[in-house]
Amino acid sequence: MKKRMYLVIVSVLLAVTMIGATVISANAATNGLTESQIDAIVNTTTDQSKIDSPFLSVVNHVRNSVVGVNNYATSTSYYGYGFGYGYGQPETRESLRGTGSGVVITEYGHVLTNYHVVDGASRVTVTTGTDEEEHEATVVGYDADLDIAVLEVKNLNLEPVQLGDSDAMQVGEWAIVIGNPLGERFSRSVSIGVVSGLGREVTDRSMDKYGRISTVTNTMIQTDAAINSGNSGGGMFNILGQLQGIPSMYALSSSGGSFFFSTGEQADNIGLCIPINVAKPLITEVLKDYNNTGKSADTRSQSGDSEEEHIDSPLYGKPRLGVTITTLSNSSRYGLPAGAFVRAVEAGSPADDGGVKVGDIVVEMDGTVLDSQNALITKLNGYHEGDQVQLKVYRDPELSEKTNLNNIDVNKLGQGEYVDLTITLRVVDNMNF
């Protein structure tokens, strides 16, 4: 009986409340809302101190350490009809070839990024979230096969991030990805996911700046955090704010995008990052060079004595390496770089003294890529007796002591390496180059 009486009372109260609400609603419909009623609805506040997220402190700490990386390329064109039939002086133009991301890793202005972000650039700059300027950057170290590069930027004045230990990562832990998807329009975007897998082997074809194509297999971190074109070279951080990976690839459910892998299957939410421990040897190499010289290797002059020091030289002949060479072109089908193929080395010549061997492919001199015999000859014309040059050659065991490519086993090619040599140029009689 008491229970029934209680239910009757509750029903009466609910009815009275509904009638009151109807009266108020009707009153508002006829007379409008008061300013205090509107203020109560619209002018609300959010207490940030009560917002709890495991990502806030990490993002606030590292977000400004992620920068944009711009790849500029130059091209030469003529006024006229094109196809080489123009007129007048050639015009060289610079254009933005692509954009990516990078992460500041030292207080000295070193930025870690992907090699493919800066590959082929005539000029590299970085943009920050603290100013609107483009800061000139120098590539001071890279590994094309691992797809990593280190830049040096003067007066960057950004706090570096702490490197983590990617070997200690666990599947299921948080993954915080920060980068510039689609460029500066979405700069320093944050996406959240988990580490979906470790030790994912990804095989890809890689071409270095000398034109050598090789097949490389790298071990990657898989995450379901959003990675898009432009995120490349950015950072994947753990919950401690440590840099654990470098976003590098993503799988697409359809074709398109700048950097992707595809095997024909459809996939979503699969992003791949280079483990930070893979990049540490290159970072160590760059920093050792910086510590020893006060500046990184690629910012130093690679040439020998200056031209002015040779004006009064009693030697007037043109210096030569002392080699017989031929152009090695269209060689990528063999897994070889393009360059000047050494068919003979003169005994006692500068090349012989410096370690050049028959079968070597000369690909670079003092930082200039040489893709042909003529490129090497042209480069040599700028030097004098006594100059010291840095030569890079590609040396493959299958090419050793070979004077041509007619009698080689192409299936054994691609096991070579790049070798750096120091050559002191002299005048060499009876040699063409």
Residues with catalytic roles: 116, 147, 232
Burial of 223 (0-12, 13-18, 19+ CB in 10 A): buried
Rg of the chain (C-alpha set): 31
> Strands 242-250 and 235-237: what pairing?
antiparallel
DSSP single-letter state for residue 13: H
Does residue 31 sit in helix, strand or coil? helix
Element at 26 (helix H, strand E): helix 2-31
Question: Which two structure tokens, joined as six digits, stand for 407?
Answer: 């009698």
Nearest to 247 by CA among 219, 280, 220, 273: 273
Question: Which two structure tokens, joined as six digits, stand for 236?
Answer: 């994947």
d(C-alpha 173, C-alpha 283), whole Å: 26
d(C-alpha 361, C-alpha 337), whole Å: 8
CB 150 within 8 A of CB 111: yes
